[in-house]
Homo-oligomer: A and B are copies of this chain.
Amino acid sequence: MSKVQPRTLSGFMELMPARQIQFDRMMAVLRESYSLYGFTPLDTPIIEASEVLLAKGGGETEKQIYRFQKGDSDLSLRFDLTVPLAKYVAQYSGQLAFPFRRFQIGKVYRGERAQRGRFREFYQADIDIIGDGKLDISNDAEIPAIIYRTFTALGLKRFQIRVNNRKILNGFYAMLDLTHESGAIMRTVDKLDKIGAAQVKELLMAEEIGLNAEQAGEIMRFIAIDGSNAEVLQALEGYRGRHPLFDEGLDELTTVARYLAAFGVPEDHFKVDLTIARGLDYYTGTVYETTMLDHPEIGSICSGGRFDNLAEYYTDKKLPGVGISIGLTRLFFVLEDQGYLNDQLNTAPADALILPMTEDLSAAIALATQLRSAGVRTQLYGEQKKFKQKMSYADKLGVPYVIFLGEEEIASGVAAVKNMRTGEQVKVSPDEAVNLIQAGLELLNQGTPIVDKE
């Protein structure tokens, strides 16, 4: 028979078993962390009517979308989890309690140009809090707490959540009568890290934007505001009273910063940063980015913000909200690439592997059943192979415990349990084997999915 070459599409992550277990472990931490903060899981379809998914229309997204005809239907694969959320909330608003807090971890699709570390199918892990008409600012302070808790539970240590407020930026530009130019100015200011302050100022005064020296100076002074969160907020107080939008933004940012300690976020993991704007017009208040201190080059690993209107394309209902998204597939790729994954944790499909040394498997099966009843993930090797091949299988799996069961052990009601990491082997009763393995696993599973520097 002629064969088809088995292959996986470019831009689609497909992991080897051990890596998959590491990925799943990260997802489990995210689910647990999001749940701890009172978010409910949602699982919307991957396919939606194109008319619904592209209601907002236009932009980069539409070019990248996986869109196709099936029968009479014009269908598209979701490209993020926000639009499906907007659809869901608009569709079922009568049945939901607001604020509606949901998390969703799911695959999304974008036909981007394939390149290393970029994916066409990737997981996003989103949380959003949606209000009905209004949503209190305290919710904006809770988001960094969730990010902090989540990344800490994953094992990440050297990261920083950077926060700003679009109202402060927009209010500031309104003060200078530069509302119209604010987009171009922000895009230029965004290059600060790359090209330096002098060149940014030059660009601001160049023909395209055309600020005068005073305006450019004001902007350069503003974006130079730095220091502790208290110092930055203090410096911003100097602008109070010049524009109501600015004052509103400053009040919000001050409240967010004030509540953070009670939410358990240490000061050194949270930074008020006036250079954060987030490209999307979608955000109207608080904005967040999260950077790995040792890898600024990979950009933000968790971003989001406050928006005024989640679902204006579907409903007249005003649905403000605040949320964040982690691009999990890309994050996992980076963590693997940079050696952050904790390879000390068990990545074998089982905790214990029973190698029967008899032809009849009844005793080995009974032992497997006992171990499983005690919660020990157990494999039973039932193949009639040579001892060497059996051990080679155990080594390949990387299973932490191997249990040998021969005629002699069966006759004396014991099993030979070998700790594959230490090489130590003992003959014990099945009950003792359970205790021994469970104690060992407790030690083994203590670490976090990620290992970061202190």
A41 CB–B CB distance under 8 Å: yes
Interface window among A44-52, A189-197, A236-244 = A44-52
Pair A7/B52 contact, Cβ less than 8 Å: yes
- Residue pair B12, A136 in contact (C-beta under 8 Å): no
Give how many copies assemble into the complex: 2
Whether the pair B349, A101 counts as a contact (CB closer than 8 A) is yes
Query: Quick one: given A1-B312, A71-B111, A349-B38, are A45 and B9 in contact (CB under 8 Å)?
Result: yes
Asked whether, in the complex, the Cβ of A24 is within 8 Å of the Cβ of B49, the reply is no
A81 to B74, CA, bound (A): 25
Chain B nearest Cβ from A19, distance in angstroms: 10
Closest Cβ neighbor of A367 among chain B residues: B262
Residue of B nearest to A374 (CB): B36
Q: Which residues of B are found within 8 Å of A111, using beta-carbon distances?
A: 70-71
Q: Are A380 and B138 in contact (CB under 8 A)?
A: yes
**Taking A3-B313, A311-B6 as contacts, is the C-beta distance between A383 and B349 under 8 angstroms?**
no
**A139 is an interface residue with CB less than 8 A from chain B:** yes
Instruction: Find chain B residues with CB under 8 A from A41 CB.
Output: 17, 20-21, 24
CB pair B365 A259 closer than 8 Å: yes
Binds B, one of A90-98, A227-235, A433-441: A90-98
Is residue A426 contacting chain B, with contact meaning CB distance below 8 A?
A: no
A17 to B131, CA, bound (A): 16
Known: A264-B373, A382-B139. A40 touches B20 (CB 8 A): yes
Bound together, the chains give a CA A101 to CA B396 distance in angstroms of: 13
CA distance A395 to B149 in the complex (A): 28
> A37 in the interface, Cβ–Cβ < 8 Å?
yes
Q: Closest CB-CB distance, A366 to chain B, in whole Å?
A: 5
Per the 8 Å Cβ criterion, residues 386-431 of A in contact with B are 393, 396-397
Asked if A341 is at the interface (CB within 8 A of a chain B CB), the reply is no
Tell whether A212 is near chain B: CB-to-CB under 8 Å: no
Q: Chain B residues with Cβ under 8 A from A376's Cβ?
A: 36
- Give chain B residues whose Cβ lies under 8 Å from the Cβ of A333: none
Whether A369 pairs with B145 at a CB distance below 8 angstroms is yes
Q: Which residues of the partner chain B approach A20 to less than 8 Å between Cβ atoms?
A: 40-43
B91 and A259 within 8 A (CB): no
> Which A75-99 residues have C-beta < 8 A from chain B?
75, 86-88, 90-92, 95-99
The residue of chain B having its C-beta at the shortest distance from the C-beta of A352 within the complex is: B38
A37 in complex: contacting residue of B137, B378, B384, CB < 8 Å = B378
B-contact 0/1 string along A129-173, CB 8 Å cutoff: 001001111110110010001000000000000000000000000
Would you call A375 an interface residue if the criterion is a C-beta within 8 Å of the partner chain's C-beta atoms? yes
Q: What separation, in Å, do the CA atoms of A139 and B356 have in the docked complex?
A: 14
Contact indicator A35/B377 (Cβ below 8 Å) = yes
Taking the nearest CB of chain B, how far is it from the CB of A368, in angstroms?
8
Q: How far is the CB of A402 from chain B (nearest CB, A)?
A: 13
The answer to the question of A39 belonging to the interface, with a C-beta cut-off of 8 Å to chain B, is: yes
Give Cα A51 to B7, complex, Å: 10
B40 near A349 (CB under 8 angstroms)?
A: yes
Contacts of A312 in B (CB 8 A): 1
Q: Once the chains bind, are B55 and A43 in contact (CB under 8 Å)? A: no
Q: Which residue of B lies closest to A395 (CB)?
A: B97
A–B complex contacts, Cβ < 8 Å, 6 sampled:
A9-B75, A38-B350, A40-B348, A97-B393, A262-B361, A262-B362
Known: A9-B47, A149-B372. 16 other contacts (CB 8 A): A3-B314, A3-B316, A6-B87, A6-B90, A8-B91, A14-B88, A35-B349, A38-B349, A66-B70, A68-B70, A71-B111, A99-B383, A136-B384, A259-B362, A262-B363, A262-B365
Name A residues whose Cβ lies closer than 8 Å to a Cβ of B. Answer: 1, 3-9, 12-17, 20-21, 23-24, 35-49, 51-52, 55, 66, 68-71, 73, 75, 86-88, 90-92, 95-99, 101-102, 107, 109, 111, 121, 131, 134-139, 141-142, 145, 149, 258-259, 262-264, 311-316, 348-350, 353, 361-363, 365-366, 368-369, 372-373, 375-384, 393, 396-397
